Each structure stands twice: as C-alpha cells, then as structure tokens.
Structure 1
Amino acid sequence: MATTPKKSRKAKDPAPLVVPVRNLRRTVLRWALRGVLGVAGLFASLVLLFSFLNPPVNIYQLQEISRLGGLEREWVAIEDIAPVMGRSAVAAEDANFCLHWGFDMNAIRAAVAQGGTRGASTISQQVVKNVFLWHGRSWLRKAMEGVLTPAVELIWSKQRILEVYLNIAEFDEGVFGVQAAARHYFNTDARNLSALQAARLAAVLPDPKGRSASNPSNFVRNRTRAIISGAETIAADGRDTCFRY
C-alpha cells in the first residue's frame, strides 16, 4: 500500500524578542520606589539613633582627615559646656533658635530681599548638613536638607540640636567642637569658658579658616562685642528657654 509522503515542516523563524515596555516601566518604577523608601528609612533610622547617640564622624570631617592627616576633636555633653557658650552661639548664628521649627522664615525673606548676599541657615539646618549630608550648593543637598530639618526638629530637643552643633562646628582648620576649640585657643575646658572667650569662639564660626579667636582682627573684636550683647539680650528676654541648662 502506497503511503502518502509527509509534507516537510518548514522550520518557523524564532519570534522576535519583544520587551513589554509597560512591564519594564513598572519594574523600573517599583525598584526606584524601593530605593527611595530604603534611603528614607536609612535617614529616619539615623535621625532617631543620633537623637541619643553621638554621631561618630561626618563627610566633611572625613575629607579634612584625608587632607590634614587628623583632627582635633573631643565630644563633651552639653552640661560640660559653659551656658554662655550656648547663648553666644545662638546669638551669633540663629538668634530665633527657640522660636522656629527649623527654618527662620524672617531671615529667609530678608536674605531673598538682599539678593542672597546674607546667610539664612539656622543652627538646625547646619546640624543636618554637617551630620547627615555634605557641603555644597547642589539642589539635591538643599532638597534633602529641607526634608531632614523638620524631622530633626520633631524628634530631637532643641538642647540636643545645640549640643550636637557645638560638638561638630569647625572653629579652626582641623579643630572641631567647642572642647577642642577651648583648648586650642585658650588652654582651658569648654565648661570654664568666659563670656569673652565664648563670644570670640562664636565670632569665628562663619569663617573658621579665615578668623582667629586668639588673635582676633578688628572685625572679630567688633563682632565679639555684638555677640556678648546679643547673648545677654537672649538671656534677658527668655529666648534661651528651649536650651537652658
């Protein structure tokens, strides 16, 4: 019996690889969201942790360690810092420290009115920048600072914010924190600083590499007198109540 020959099957060409664009977009968005939530969770954990644990080192300090080979720094509790030092720092850097929630809107409006020629960063903003972020004027850093500052204000006390600030502020090249600064400039401890010494230290804060507390210029002397007066006013009108110790 004759058999009908089978027709040979023509091999089919492999189907082209089609990437489902919609699925790819969803995957990217999902991983991006996970990344954002992961970063947010990390910073939230650090904000909570540093509300009671002292930050070990920050990005700027690591850069200075690499450049200088080492730093002068020693952490001291706020109870071991002369109260006049806290008032002097607030008078010099953020007179309304106890009155705002992280941003001094009056200072910001004044800075905008003057074309950005004056600074408007509060002590809280400076703490956020130095503890969690990096130095620079990028929009990313400013945006992160804008988010983290209210979080720090919400979780930390004002006294804690000031304590951290006084311990991480730069007072001379490679000299960080009020204890190291007191010894560096005056051969004393932070708890023993006089009103004049505290005001001198506060006077160098905006430009620690260009100003000296032990060899003050006329500008630093004039600023020191203004800070002494401002610290006395803050104590008299009660604007130190949120950090008084």
Structure 2
Amino acid sequence: MGSGDENLKVADVAAAPRWRWRRLLWLPVLLAAFSVLQVVALRFIDPPLSTVMVWRYGEALGQGDWKYRLHHQWRDLDQMAPSLPISLVAAEDQRFPLHNGFDLQAIEKARDHNARGGRVRGASTISQQVAKNLFLWQGRSWLRKGLEVWYTLLIETFWPKHRILEVYANIAEFGDGIYGAQAAARQFWNKDASALTPAESARLAAVLPAPRRYSAARPGPYVQRRANWIQRQARQLGGGGYLQDD
C-alpha cells in the first residue's frame, strides 16, 4: 500500500469526527425552526390537546386510575360569554393587553413580596402560561424555563392577543380533567360557555391557581371572595372593552 493511500485514510478518520460535530451544531437550528413552525401553524389551527392534558392523562393511568377522562371542547372566543375573557385577565394578568409577554412590573412586585416572606407569589403572564401548558412538560428546571421564555417570545411575535387569550381559555384547567371554558360550563352548569353569567365566569377564573383543590361549581369562602374581587377588578378595567383593541 502506498503512502498516498495511507494519508487519505488518516484524513478520512480525522474528518469523520468533524463532520459529526457539524451535524450536531445543526440540531439547535432545526429545533428552533420546528418550534417556529409549531407556533405559526397553531395561530390558525385549533390545538386538540395540550401537553398538560397528555401529561395529566398519563399520570392518572400511571396511578391506576383507568376511569380517568379528559373533558375538552374547543370554542372560539366569540362563542364564549364576554364576561369570561375579562374575568381571566382580571384574575391572572391585568396588564395582558399592554405587555409583550413578560410583565416586568408584576415580576418586580412579586420579588419584593416574596422577599418579605409569607405565601409565594408568582408573576407568570397569560402568554407564559399558554407557552408552558401548550408546549412543555410539567416540573421545574432551567431548561424548561428557558424554553418557556422562547415559546412566549414566539407566541407574542406570531399571535395576536386575541388568539393568545382564546387558546388560554380553551386549555386552562378548571377542574380535575376539565379543560377549557366550554367543558367547564357543561360539566358544572350544564350550559354552553356562551351562556356563562359574570358570576360564573368569575368563579371559573377564581379556581385557576389550584383547580383540583377548589371548585367553581361548589365554591367555598375563598373562591367566593376571590370571585367577587375578580368581578370588581373586571369592572374597574372597563369590562370587555378593555380587550377590544388588543
């Protein structure tokens, strides 16, 4: 065998690892492109499920709960009572029409509150909640938080505020296995989401911090107090008109 052939073999061996590394460098680019396509497509396509729904269903089966059922029916925002979206905003994210996915004022207030001790307060916007509930897994990690930020930026870039709120109202959990305002209205009051009263809308929004712990159908003192507060906040924000220019 000549020295030329040996040199070619050595060069091929050295080039192989470099080629593998170059392919690996393309992986983040491909994943980023896929996430952009996901978000753009879901601006126009109503998601039939969210990762939270799938995760919860798998969790129930893992615990041997074979009778567990998911209740979910999509409704466009204009097929819901006007009191429902403003109640969600009043309860969860009052600066929703004004921020770009991250409410810096709320983050600062939550940081000051938590530094004083007591019950921990969060500052997740509706956009952030859509990002993590629709696309991401349960749990806490720096990777998950980073992806939440990325998906929030994509959602705010490619979706109008109306679409963000519409998806949120359809994937939020209002009871154990009950996702979206339509399923909640049917399960709790045997009516469509379009027929929800302001009081019922406020009660749905009131249970969102812990929908498996609190009941909108049979509200205890905490839920009732919070629902009353949500109704007052919704009126102070200007009712449904607060969301018309989003």
Q: How do 1:8-87 residues align onto structure 2 when only pairs under 5 Å count?
A: 23=15, 26-66=18-58, 67=60, 69-87=68-86
1:83 maps to amino acid: P
Indicate the residue corresponding to 1:120 in structure 2.
Answer: 123
Indicate the residue corresponding to 2:100 in structure 1.
Answer: 101
Aligned mates of 1:180, 1:195 — CA distance in 2? 17
Aligned mates of 2:113, 2:242 — CA distance in 1? 26
Q: How far 1:240 sits from its partner (Å)? A: 2.1
Aligned mates of 1:21, 1:225 — CA distance in 2? 72
Aligned mates of 2:41, 2:26 — CA distance in 1? 22
2:182 is the counterpart of 1:179:
yes
Contact 1:91 1:227 in 2 (8 A): yes
User: What whole-Å deviation, never above 9, does each CA across 1:177-222 have from its counterpart, x for those lacking one?
Assistant: 0000011111111001111000000000110000001111111111
Moved over 3 A (4+): 17-29, 236-239
User: Which runs of no fewer than 5 residues in structure 1 stay unpaired?
Assistant: 1-13
SS of match in other structure, 2:143:
helix
More helix per residue: 1 or 2? 2
SS of match in other structure, 1:205:
coil
Q: Please identify, of 145-154 and 155-164, the stretch whose mean Cα deviation from structure 2 is larger.
A: 145-154
Aligned mates of 1:216, 1:118 — CA distance in 2? 22
1:157 maps to amino acid: P
SS of match in other structure, 2:204:
helix
Structure 1 residues 100 and 162, CA gap change in structure 2 (3 angstroms): same
Contact 1:173 1:208 in 2 (8 A): yes
User: What whole-Å deviation, never above 9, does each CA across 1:64-96 have from its counterpart, x for those lacking one?
Assistant: 223154211100111100111000000000000
Question: What TM-score results when the alignment is normalised by the length of structure 2?
Answer: 0.86
Q: How far 1:109 sits from its partner (Å)? A: 1.1
Question: What TM-score results when the alignment is normalised by the length of structure 1?
Answer: 0.86
Count of aligned positions: 229
Question: What is the identity percentage for the equivalent residue pairs of Structure 1 and Structure 2?
Answer: 41
Q: How far 1:59 sits from its partner (Å)? A: 2.0
Aligned mates of 1:132, 1:183 — CA distance in 2? 26
Contact 1:87 1:235 in 2 (8 A): no
Indicate the residue corresponding to 2:3 in structure 1.
Answer: none
Q: How far 1:27 sits from its partner (Å)? A: 3.4
Structure of greater Rg: 1
Contact 2:82 2:240 in 1 (8 A): no
Indicate the residue corresponding to 2:158 in structure 1.
Answer: 155
Indicate the residue corresponding to 1:232 in structure 2.
Answer: 235
Q: How far 1:57 sits from its partner (Å)? A: 1.5
Q: Please identify, of 227-236 and 73-82, the stretch whose mean Cα deviation from structure 2 is larger.
A: 227-236
SS of match in other structure, 1:125:
helix
2:22 maps to amino acid: R
Indicate the residue corresponding to 1:193 in structure 2.
Answer: 196
Indicate the residue corresponding to 1:221 in structure 2.
Answer: 224
Q: How far 1:111 sits from its partner (Å)? A: 1.7
